[in-house]
């Protein structure tokens, strides 16, 4: 895709917020996510990244569920069937959500919000 095509592809998109309570296991000296036993929940979407970030950092409506959900991922999702989302940012719960790097167990995984 050209730069112009990519821009058009994401022009009509929403910012999806997904909460994750990871259950991890170690295999061959690497930490992996147990997708079956982890709790991954789409919380909602916003038209702008700013709106999404404000509601995450304020823990709007207790989206952490009193710290149950340890991570939040924000993805920019364009229209379409199984669209290619872009991860915008990650947050980690530490009595409030703070921006963090993508966890190692989350590498090479996309489309958290649509499964």
Domain boundaries, the chain: 3-106
pLDDT at 5: 83
Which residue matches tokens 């947050």?
Answer: 91
Q: Band of the pLDDT at 87, cuts 50, 70, 90?
A: confident
Whole-angstrom distance, CA of residue 37 vs CA of residue 54: 29
Q: Which residues are 87's β-sheet partners?
A: 75
Give me the mean pLDDT over the 38-44 stretch: 96
Q: Which residues are 27's β-sheet partners?
A: 30
**Nearest Cα to Cα of residue 69 among 35, 45, 42:** 42
Q: Each residue of 6-17: pLDDT tens digit?
A: 878 888 889 999
pTM of the predicted structure, to 2 decimals = 0.88
Give me the mean pLDDT over the 32-58 stretch: 95
Strand 24-27 versus strand 86-93 pairing type: unpaired
pLDDT value at 100 more than 90: yes
């Amino acid at each position: 895709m050209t730069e112009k095509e990519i821009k058009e592809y994401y022009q009509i998109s929403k910012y999806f917020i997904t909460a994750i309570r990871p259950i991890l296991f170690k295999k061959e000296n690497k930490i992996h996510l147990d997708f079956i036993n982890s709790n991954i929940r789409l919380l909602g979407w916003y038209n702008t990244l700013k709106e999404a970030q404000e509601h995450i950092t304020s823990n709007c409506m207790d989206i952490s569920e009193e710290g149950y959900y340890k991570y939040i991922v924000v993805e920019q999702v364009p229209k379409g069937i199984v669209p290619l989302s872009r991860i915008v940012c990650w947050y980690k719960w530490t009595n409030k959500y703070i921006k963090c790097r993508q966890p190692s167990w989350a590498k090479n995984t996309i489309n958290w919000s649509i499964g």
